[in-house]
C-alpha cells in the first residue's frame, strides 16, 4: 500500500542500470523462496521463485540467487525501468503451508 515504503531500506537506481536486492533468511529448514513486488496501493505480485535444490534461477530480466550456506537470497533486475519502482519482499517456506515474509526493500528508479 501507499505507506508500505516508510521505514524501509531504500535502493535508488538509475534507469537502465542493474539492481540487486538482498534478503537474509533465518530458518535453515526453509526449502522454497519467493520474491514479490508490491506497487503502491496494490497487493504483492509474484516475480520469481526458487527451490533449495537450485542456487540460481532466471526469469525475464530477473535472476534469483540462493546461497544456503549463509542463508542469503538476492534478486537481480537487469536494465531497471521506472515501472520497477516498488517494494520488494522475499518470502521463505519450510513446507509447513505458510510463507514467512521479510520486511521489504524499497526500490526507487531515477529517470
Partner 1 sequence: DVKVTQSSRYLVKRTGEKVFLECVQDMDHENMFWYRQDPGLGLRLIYFSYDVKMKEKGDIPEGYSVSREKKERFSLILESASTNQTSMYLCASSLNLNTEAFFGQGTRLTVV
| Phi, psi of 22, deg, nearest 5 | -110, 155
Q: 84 with 39: CB under 8 angstroms? A: no
Q: Among residues 13 and 36, whose Cβ is nearest to partner 1?
A: 36
Sole binder of partner 1 in the list 13, 21, 25, 44 (CB under 8 A): 44
26 makes contact with partner 1 (CB under 8 A): no
Q: Which three cell numbers stand for residue 96?
A: 509447513
Q: Is 51 in the site for partner 1 (CB under 8 A)?
A: yes
* Total chain residues near partner 1 (CB under 8 A): 31
Q: Does 29 participate in binding partner 1 (rule CB under 8 A)?
A: no
**Minimal distance, residue 37 CB to partner 1, in Å:** 11
Asked if 32 touches partner 1 (CB under 8 A), the answer is yes
Q: Which residue's entry shows cell 537470497?
A: 73
Of 3, 26, 53, 60, which one interacts with partner 1 (CB under 8 A)? 3
Can you tell me the distance from the alpha carbon of 90 to that of 35, in angstroms, rounded to the nearest whole number? 5
49 CB-side CA count, 13 A: 12
* Antiparallel, parallel or unpaired: β 62-67 and 72-77: antiparallel
Residues at the interface with partner 1 (CB under 8 A):
1, 3-8, 31-32, 34, 36, 41-46, 49, 51, 89, 91, 93, 95, 97-104
Amino acid at each position: 500500500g501507499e505507506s508500505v515504503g516508510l521505514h524501509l531500506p531504500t535502493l535508488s537506481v538509475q534507469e537502465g542500470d542493474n539492481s540487486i536486492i538482498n534478503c537474509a533468511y533465518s530458518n535453515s529448514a526453509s526449502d522454497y523462496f519467493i520474491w514479490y513486488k508490491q506497487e503502491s496501493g496494490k497487493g504483492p505480485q509474484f516475480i520469481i521463485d526458487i527451490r533449495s535444490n537450485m542456487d540460481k534461477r532466471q526469469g525475464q530480466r530477473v535472476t534469483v540467487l540462493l546461497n544456503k550456506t549463509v542463508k542469503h537470497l538476492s534478486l537481480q533486475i537487469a536494465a531497471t525501468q521506472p515501472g520497477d519502482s516498488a517494494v520488494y519482499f522475499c518470502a521463505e517456506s519450510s513446507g509447513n503451508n505458510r510463507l514467512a515474509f521479510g520486511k521489504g526493500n524499497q526500490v526507487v528508479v531515477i529517470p
